């Protein structure tokens, strides 16, 4: 298992093929080249960010920490909102009227299409930049006859990495799932005094799980394997180290670990897909 305090991860600023410069902390990554590869980041999006309506061949989970984020007809996220964006499902256009901070997990979904690594992404974007331009989520390739070809920015990067056209899986969901956890009830866990749960959803045949857990001070909660936990509030300890607000806890398949709360604790669980 891994316990990752927020302050242990450097804050980086990088250009993005969608638009502008993002400030982010890359909290956790999976195994590059595998169908279950993933990237967990805490991302600050600049004021005025815009992205056209688009889709991906991977899944996403977003948890809004600060600011608001508008996804056009699909919905809006504000602090506390959580959303699941399925692979192949269109969403957006996206826009932010002010600075926005979001916990973003991007990961290979049920189709097995996988997720390209940050290193692959950066290398391919740089290569594409020699033959065209990125602007507002679109890659424009300059042709030899002075013509132009426009393509979704991520799609262009993916094809540069893989050397073949991106074929999207058939969408399982018509639109993203936007959740307001404050509107869910806490359900006590009968075998764990002082602990309760809000089950937000289980998605696709890969059983990606989203849930919130609350542990009263002094309580103990066994954590599920093959999961990422993000501490929304509270302090405590696990077998792998202490936690505080915005600590990330990652359990690999088969690991058995418990969280022991020193103060009232709230955890977001993202149960990774069973691929």
- Residues 55-106: pLDDT tens digits? 999 999 999 999 999 999 999 999 999 999 999 999 999 988 888 999 999 9
Q: Note the pLDDT of residue 146.
A: 72
Residue 66's SS3 state is strand
User: Following CA atoms 16, 163, 85, 41 in sequence, which dihedral angle do they give, to the nearest 10 degrees?
Assistant: -40
Residue 98's SS3 state is coil
**Distance in angstroms (rounded) separating the CA atoms of residues 165 and 67:** 36
In tens, the pLDDT along 177-209 reads 999 999 999 999 998 989 999 999 999 999 999
Structure tokens at 213: 């857990």
Contact 143/180 with Cβ under 8 angstroms? no
**Distance in angstroms (rounded) separating the CA atoms of residues 89 and 11:** 31
Q: Note the pLDDT of residue 21.
A: 63
> Which domains are seen in the chain, by residue range?
2-115+168-178 (2.60.120.10), 118-162 (no CATH), 184-271 (2.60.120.10)
**Distance in angstroms (rounded) separating the CA atoms of residues 52 and 55:** 10
Residues 6+ apart with CB under 8 A from 7: none
Q: Note the pLDDT of residue 19.
A: 57
**Distance in angstroms (rounded) separating the CA atoms of residues 239 and 234:** 17
How crowded is residue 162: how many other Cβ atoms within 10 Å of its Cβ?
A: 13
Residue 129's SS3 state is helix
Q: Note the pLDDT of residue 15.
A: 61
In tens, the pLDDT along 116-158 reads 998 898 899 999 999 898 887 789 988 777 778 899 888 999 9
Q: Note the pLDDT of residue 145.
A: 75
Q: Which of 105, 97, 104 is nearest to 69 (CA)?
A: 97
Q: Note the pLDDT of residue 4.
A: 97
Higher pLDDT: 98 or 217? It is: 217
Q: Which of 87, 56, 83, 86 is nearest to 71 (CA)?
A: 83
Structure tokens at 202: 């289980």
Residues 6+ apart with CB under 8 A from 175: 74, 89, 90, 91
Contact 98/79 with Cβ under 8 angstroms? no
**Distance in angstroms (rounded) separating the CA atoms of residues 195 and 186:** 9
Q: Note the pLDDT of residue 16.
A: 58
């Amino acid at each position: 298992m891994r316990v990752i305090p927020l302050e242990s991860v450097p804050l980086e600023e990088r250009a993005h093929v969608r638009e502008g410069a993002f400030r982010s902390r890359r909290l956790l990554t999976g195994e590059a080249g595998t169908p279950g590869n993933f990237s967990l980041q805490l991302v600050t999006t600049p004021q005025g960010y815009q992205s056209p309506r688009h889709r991906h061949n991977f899944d996403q989970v977003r948890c809004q920490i600060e600011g608001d984020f508008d996804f056009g007809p699909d919905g809006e996220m504000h602090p506390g909102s959580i959303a699941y964006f399925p692979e192949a499902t269109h969403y957006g256009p996206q826009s932010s009227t002010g600075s926005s901070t979001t916990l973003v997990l991007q990961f290979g979904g049920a189709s097995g299409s996988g997720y390209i690594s940050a290193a692959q992404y950066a290398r391919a974007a740089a290569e594409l930049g020699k033959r065209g331009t990125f602007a507002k989520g679109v890659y424009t390739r300059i042709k030899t006859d002075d013509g132009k070809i426009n393509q979704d920015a991520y799609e262009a990067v993916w094809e540069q990495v893989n050397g073949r056209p991106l074929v999207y899986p058939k969408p399982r969901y018509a639109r993203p799932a936007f959740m307001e956890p404050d509107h869910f009830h806490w359900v006590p866990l009968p075998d764990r005094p002082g602990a309760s749960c809000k089950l937000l959803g289980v998605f696709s045949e890969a059983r990606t799980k989203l849930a919130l857990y609350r542990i009263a001070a002094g309580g103990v909660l066994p954590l599920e394997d093959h999961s990422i936990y993000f501490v929304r509030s509270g302090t405590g300890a696990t077998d792998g180290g202490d936690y505080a607000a915005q600590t990330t806890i990652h359990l690999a398949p088969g690991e058995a670990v418990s969280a022991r709360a020193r103060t009232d604790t709230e955890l977001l669980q993202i149960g990774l897909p069973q691929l």
